[in-house]
Amino acid sequence: RMNRHSGAGDMGSPLKHFTNAKKKINVLFSDIQTYIEEFGEFIDDIGNSDENIIIEEELEDDVLAALEKINGIKDMLTRNHMKVVFFGRTSNGKSSVVNAMLWDRILPTGIGHTTNCFLSVAGCSDEGAYLLCNGSEEKRSIKSVTQLSHALSEESMSPDSLIQVFWPKSKCALLKDDVVLVDSPGIDVSHDLDQWIDKYCLDADVFILVANAESTLMQAEKKFFHRVNEKLSKPNIFILNNRWDASASEPELMEQVRQQHLERGISFLADELKVISKSQAKDRVFFVSAKETLQSRMPKVPGKADSPVYMADGHQVRLMEFARFEREFEECISRSATRTKFEYHTQRASKIIDQLHSKAEWLYTKATELMNECRDRRVFLLQRLEYIDNQMKLVTQRSKDGIVALANEAERQVRVAMSDEIRRL
């Protein structure tokens, strides 16, 4: 019990697939952010130097814009979660299923506590539970379920509005692993299912239809999932035939009813909606009792003796079936969210990186061109220098030769003059 409830050391949970992927992708995005920052600093350094002939302001702006976009994506990724939405007719036990999965009575259930708007439950830090109403920033702390149900009944909410409940992650494994659970008003009360889907379902990873095992699937329930199927490609749908404990009183009929519900459920998913194959569909239909599961999972109140709880025959099997459902659900939501939630962001990031890469490449080519130009000029100047040098040498040599010749001539003439004079004397 402790394991699933607290999530302590539960490394085997399929949900870890998503949370680990999320951690890895966050590290990757931090690396990308560092690289872009370094690139930006490098460009700034050159741009600010007096000798800059290559960096233009536009490039500096582009790098800044890329950094902002990457930061934005990183932000979205840290807020990314797995989302499951519960639908069904009023009183089929949607809130009870959510509570059973959270191992505590968090959402109010039962007569007079009909969920009349959308209610999401997400994890928060350990400081304490709170709720946000309809997009408002004002955090209202909640100490107990009774307080929550009062808060909910005080609010006059329209069916398509949202109340967000934030519950300490440490209290529940699902919340710790970034699952957000969304309860909906009874499917029978709304006329505007499309608006519901557009507002709350487009990013849902899994849909759970909480049906009543005591009756067959209603047209309203089917119709809703047909609409979902039109708007989303191959949604992941589970069918929980809840209140299965009620059939324990008629054991002779039980197997027959179960078979009938199972066949209808499979046929709805595989033949009617065509979201899954027939053989896989049998792992999407379950027979459970949310009420019993919740009762068996409720945390013990310290100092209070356990009051004996009456459980109908076969409750162990129903508890096991609930746990089997949770395992299938966790595998499905984790796989689906890992595949879909990161894809769009990584594609966007990849485009941004491609753009920066081509800018860096342009810069490199430009710098190489400039370097080559400088090298050619240097070679040219050196050659010129050598030529001039040689010319100078030549000139010097020539003038030297000329001077020597002149001097020799002068000497010769002096000698001639002198010998003439000697002769005369």
Instruction: State yes or no: residue 298 binds ligand GDP (CB under 6 A).
Output: no
Instruction: State yes or no: residue 88 binds ligand GDP (CB under 6 A).
Output: yes
CB-nearer residue toward ligand GDP: 228 or 290: 290
Residues 219-258 that bind ligand GDP (CB under 6 A): 242-243, 245-246
User: Of 88-96, 142-150, 156-164, 190-198, which segment contacts ligand GDP by CB under 6 A?
Assistant: 88-96
CB-nearer residue toward ligand GDP: 19 or 109: 109
Please select the residue that binds ligand GDP; options are 13, 19, 80, 92, rule is CB under 6 A.
92
In which order are the strands placed within the sheet that holds 179-183?
140-141, 130-133, 162-168, 118-124, 179-183, 82-87, 206-212, 237-242, 285-287
Query: Within 13 Å and on the Cβ side, how many CA atoms surround 265?
Result: 28
Please select the residue that binds ligand GDP; options are 81, 94, 169, 341, rule is CB under 6 A.
94
User: Of 42-50, 87-95, 141-149, 168-176, which segment contacts ligand GDP by CB under 6 A?
Assistant: 87-95
Judged by CB under 6 A, the number of residues near ligand GDP is 20
Instruction: State yes or no: residue 174 binds ligand GDP (CB under 6 A).
Output: no
Query: Cα 152 vs. chain centroid, distance in angstroms?
Result: 30
Q: How far is the CB of 243 from ligand GDP (least distance, A)?
A: 4
Number of Cβ atoms within 10 Å of the Cβ of 419: 10
Please select the residue that binds ligand GDP; options are 93, 123, 235, 265, rule is CB under 6 A.
93
Q: Tokens at residue 284, please? A: 């999407």
Spatial distance between the Cα atoms of 7 and 9, rounded to a whole number of angstroms: 6
CB-nearer residue toward ligand GDP: 96 or 236: 96
User: Of 113-121, 193-201, 272-280, 416-424, which segment contacts ligand GDP by CB under 6 A?
Assistant: 113-121
- By CB atoms closer than 10 A (0-12, 13-18, 19+), residue 25 is buried
Mask 272-291, x = binds ligand GDP (CB under 6 A)? -----------------xxx
Instruction: State yes or no: residue 297 binds ligand GDP (CB under 6 A).
Output: no
Contact of 91 with 114, CB cutoff 8 Å:
yes
Instruction: State yes or no: residue 212 binds ligand GDP (CB under 6 A).
Output: no
CB-nearer residue toward ligand GDP: 93 or 123: 93
Instruction: State yes or no: residue 149 binds ligand GDP (CB under 6 A).
Output: no
CB-nearer residue toward ligand GDP: 108 or 123: 108
Instruction: State yes or no: residue 184 binds ligand GDP (CB under 6 A).
Output: no
Spatial distance between the Cα atoms of 75 and 69, rounded to a whole number of angstroms: 10
Helix (H) or strand (E) holding 23: helix 15-48
Helix (H) or strand (E) holding 57: helix 57-79
Q: Which one-letter DSSP state was computed for residue 406?
A: H
Spatial distance between the Cα atoms of 383 and 236, rounded to a whole number of angstroms: 76
Q: How far is the CB of 359 from ligand GDP (least distance, A)?
A: 55
* Closest C-alpha to 139, from 163, 156, 117: 163
Mention every residue, 6+ apart, whose C-beta is less than 8 A from residue 117.
155, 157, 158, 159, 160, 161, 162, 163, 185
Q: How far is the CB of 21 from ligand GDP (least distance, A)?
A: 32
Q: In the complex, which residues of this chain contact ligand GDP (CB under 6 A)?
A: 88, 90-96, 109-110, 113-115, 242-243, 245-246, 289-291
